[in-house]
Structure 1
């Protein structure tokens, strides 16, 4: 209440009682704050915050538990569940206001150091020091033979210059992931000192609690050791740590893919190669330089490529079936029945499957080898679609193929069979046929009776029986049967 706005009434000669009636206060209060010697700060009503219970108060524990489990849970969903399951009668706005307060409190409590939420430290790097990697899900872009296949885009961006690399695949498996790294290194002409990843399963072996060291995938660690770069894994739910490549995913999607259709991955890669000069000729809005000019310094500071590449393979254990096949990813692949060292592959034997980008290898385990060393049993191209059976004929060369199976009919033990007359059956006509079983076998004649379909209708009771035949017809039928 701002009682000073009633000062004109006092100047006009109104009494303290009249002013108090207008202001809704005691006359002593009006006199205290409207006198010439009144204090500068007007009176204020006491705050009612916390004195009146809110409709949401009985449900705060439930809401806090939901938000702690899923901080992104919408207030509309929370209000809907409270009304349906807990009998909440308040308006949605009550839940909305409380959720905004609770989210800030939970975010502060989740940070052990009590740092301000929503803020991050900006960093800059020197040339050649860092690259960032991410995947993009581009959906079903291909038409024609590749229609229906989901396409993924692999992105690597140099942090100093923002020079991009993009390639496209139909898989995100371990072998494809690090094959894209090799292509990126060849594109840049070197290897950055550090590569930043999020917690993808091709880099991280398993997830751990915040503050603990992240165990790396053995293949990722071996690949990084061979090429000479360090792996930097971000904390969970911290996409701002690799914002340079996150932004590049959207830029590449807008400028390379939007409004186009492609028939193959090669066309997608060619579209990126055609766009790279355009991108490098632009002035980047953050560092204010032409990307190509800054990329020259970035490329010069990269580490050298090793003399030999490192092919990452994904390994699995499988058992050999009785048909000398193993199953992988919905397709079947043959295994050599006898290995190069002469040892026979047994049904049920465990083998190691090493999956590359384009090929699959089947290896005998060291425990099954006399010298305790693995041995290659088969190498196949990967199946193009699920359900294929890929077989090398040499693998089954020693297995029986059924060429010795045969059938015969010894005519010396069986006489030709003549057609027999059946009562009520019209005169059968005979057809002779010859089947020759080798040069030493004579022809075999088999008499076959032919009857009209009406005969079978009469047997089933679906037609009237035939009229008695005349004497001439009976004589003719008997003579034909006798001749047969």
Structure 2
């Protein structure tokens, strides 16, 4: 026969939405009895594990909402292959202080050096610290902003992209922007200025952004806001993909060098 107190406790835990505690109630009770915990220690254990469970669930939801195209983590990044990377700066970014201060992060370097990996890993780390994040390719971003503008909904689209604490804009500059796209991107930068962190990956140095964005004046205005509070991570090195192909013998060394 089930103890009526246990049934009542399970009902109360359900009403309080303490799902993890309800699901693990037998285990928690056994643990408390085996360790002869005081009432205070047992209550501390229950609340601690419930909070940890809720934090983990919230982080999983935020990771889904971030729409990362790949699962990339900082511990998987091979720093030995990119000796030019400032590891102290990366370690500073891992603390999440740039998010708290609404500081922007620019990850610059040639294709294949791991910019997107770092961006996703840092954004994921921010999510684990309680922040929200969103990932989007630059081409998709300007397309969505243009479509919203055409339908008279630009303000709403800008609010959507201004909402997350960290907005990762990947591959800015891989395709040249039309003048209109550059202007739309400026509206987004202005909307997030000193309110949220923009993390941008680009294969173009900032000196080329005028041509890339289709308007020197707009590029200057964008960079003025981006660089005011920013960290710039520059990666100089060979493409990971080419290195892997060379190791596998798919691409001859002389072909890579050329």
Q: Which structure has the higher relative contact order (CA within 8 Å, separation 6+)?
A: 2
Larger radius of gyration: 1
Q: Which has the higher helix share?
A: 2
TM-score (norm 2): 0.29
